[in-house]
Amino acid sequence: MKVFNYETVKAETVGESGASNIAVRWLITKDMGAPNFAMRLFEVAPEGYSPLHTHPWEHEVFILEGEGVVSDGKKETRLKSNDVVYTAPAEWHQFKNTGKKTLKFLCLIPHPKQKPREPC
């Protein structure tokens, strides 16, 4: 068992093309011994966003703080604390902060088989 404060994990800037003012903390990974899933914490600054993208695995997202929208490129759906988002495999998605405070959310994924550091 491992117990730690999330702030001890370094926040990495999401440098993907199409991303702005977003960081990720890889909280639980294969390196820690988790065989199936990774848990990540995303922190999106006001007016920040992830890239609009798709990939072959699903996401399970829980909004911790802040407000924003999730978009499929055509439609935006508002998000706030305690909302849950399921993004199916191959579904286009983008998270945007529309509030004045940092948007924080947990994002769980199966261990990626292609790129180990995909954005949410």
pLDDT digits (tens, 9 = 90+) for 46-76: 999 999 999 899 999 999 999 999 999 999 9
Partners of residue 86 on adjacent β-strands: 60
Q: DSSP character for 66?
A: S
Domains, in order of start, for the chain: 8-110 (2.60.120.10)
pTM above 0.85, yes or no: yes
CA distances from 14 to 40, 67, 70, 119 (A): 12, 19, 17, 7
Q: Are 27 and 6 in contact (CB under 8 A)?
A: yes
Please state the φ and ψ torsions of residue 49, each to the nearest 5 degrees: -165, 155
User: What is the average pLDDT across 29-51?
Assistant: 95
